[in-house]
Amino acid sequence: MAHWQGTDFTVDGREPATAEDHYRIGLHCWNSGQHRAAAPYFLETAAGAGHEAAAELLGHIAYLQGHYAIAVPLLRRSTGSPRAAYYLASLYQQGCPEAGLAQSLDEAARHYRAAARLGEPEAMLALGELYLERLLPLTRTPAEHALEYFLAAAERGHPYAQYRAAELYRTLYQDTERAAALYQACVDNPMTARHALGSMMTLQSQAHLREEAAARAARTARQRRDAVNPVERRGDFI
């Protein structure tokens, strides 16, 4: 058995013998929460033996705990991980002297793009915001660049990306139909309630949907009026 602070850990009832065994114990400890503090102990054993998933999870834990000097080498090692690339990008965007990283939007964008290619919606959203702020080289309008990334993240179910794309369609493109579809997607998204801006997004999206519904009803009424009482005949009844 493997011991950690008086607790015994096994893998399917046997003593862990391989890097994969230690990774499985570390992963279980981290996910279950019951022995979360034990996770790094087992993951470090696995990572030291070359287990890449263990190194990636260790980098994730260190990043969340604010131990960036520990996290960065592990994140650099995890080249196929979307969240590792995203974390590195965020550290470069702000700069992290603790980890020896000078602020660099070019490096941030490089890692955000790597994370986006691996399907990380937060990276797509971050790239869209950087383009909107004109902080990256432009080959089209900032809104066109941003909308491309916001829509890509929205397709992956990111609620804030759905909201941001809707806002661009409504304010810059005056495309109320596409905006309404994205506002509705944000309202219906179960992840919206768990987002830090969930209440704001829901209230604003619902307000814009009501406005669009009222405008649509007014257009329908106007079209009916014009059909049954053409403009050229209205003077007959004055």
Q: How confident is the model at residue 236 (pLDDT cuts 50, 70, 90)?
A: low
Which two structure tokens, joined as six digits, stand for 194?
């768990």
Q: Give me the pLDDT at residue 238, please.
A: 54
Q: Give me the pLDDT at residue 117, please.
A: 98
What are the b/e assignments for 110-123, b being 16+ CB within 10 Å? ebbbbbbebebbbb
Which two structure tokens, joined as six digits, stand for 205?
């999206």
Q: Which residues contact 178 (CB under 8 A, 6 or more apart)?
A: 166, 169
Q: Which residues contact 140 (CB under 8 A, 6 or more apart)?
A: none
For the entire predicted model, the pTM comes to 0.87
- Closest listed residue to residue 188, CA positions, set 167, 205, 176: 205
Tell me: the pLDDT tens digits for 81-135? 999 999 999 999 999 999 999 999 999 999 999 999 999 999 999 999 999 999 9
Tell me: the pLDDT tens digits for 7-65? 888 898 888 999 999 999 999 999 988 889 999 999 999 999 999 999 999 999 999 99
